[in-house]
Amino acid sequence: MRLSGSSQRNRDRRRAAAGVDPIRPATVSGVSAEQPAARGGCLCGAVRFELSKPPTQAGYCHCTRCQRRTGTASSAQARIDGRSFRLTTGEDSLAAWRHPDGGFEKCFCARCGSHLFSRNPDDAAQMSIRMAAFDEDPGVRPSWRAFVAYAAPWEPIPDDGLERHQEGRPR
């Protein structure tokens, strides 16, 4: 349910009266009591994560690195603010690999091989989550196709009207 401005204020007043800080969600042993905006994880269940904010943009990447990593023609991913991301379990099962020529670190489950997310090692705010790693529909839809100049010859890019970029799409 979405609260209107006034009922949100009333709720905040009640929370304040109850001694609950209206700005910061109540926490139980360091875990947010608020529902996460999205949850996800790998196929074997070892690695689990959640987002405090829903992703707002997504796209397909047709680069040759994504083709190799995923074994498919493109990778669908949602760009997120890495500060809204939290690993809930499986840190010891999480593996990361960075191409020697640079780029984002690609993170996957070392047990089952599921691709999970990528992140900029120099800027924690820049992350992308693999769309299929979400448990449920994250709401956002891909709106662009990047690196189309390198698209797999065996799968034509669909004529879906999405924004196309020959190289990467600027963040």
Q: Which stretch binds Zn ion (CB under 5 A): 23-31, 49-57, 61-69, 155-163?
A: 61-69
Which of 38, 51, 66, 94 touches Zn ion (CB under 5 A)? Answer: 66
Which of 26, 112, 149, 152 touches Zn ion (CB under 5 A)? Answer: 112
Per rule CB under 5 A, is residue 42 in the interface with Zn ion? Answer: yes
Strand extents, DSSP E, 10-113: 27-28, 31-32, 38-41, 48-51, 57-61, 75-81, 85-89, 94-97, 105-109
Q: How far is the CB of 22 from Zn ion (least distance, A)?
A: 38
Which of 38, 51, 58, 61 touches Zn ion (CB under 5 A)? Answer: 61
Q: Which is nearer to Zn ion, 9 or 86 (CB)?
A: 86
Q: Which 146-165 residues touch Zn ion, going by CB under 5 A? A: none
Which of 109, 127, 129, 133 touches Zn ion (CB under 5 A)? Answer: 109
Per rule CB under 5 A, is residue 58 in the interface with Zn ion? Answer: no
Per rule CB under 5 A, is residue 111 in the interface with Zn ion? Answer: yes
Q: Which stretch binds Zn ion (CB under 5 A): 10-18, 21-29, 35-43, 50-58?
A: 35-43
Per rule CB under 5 A, is residue 46 in the interface with Zn ion? Answer: yes
| Bridge partners of residue 134, in order along the sequence | 40
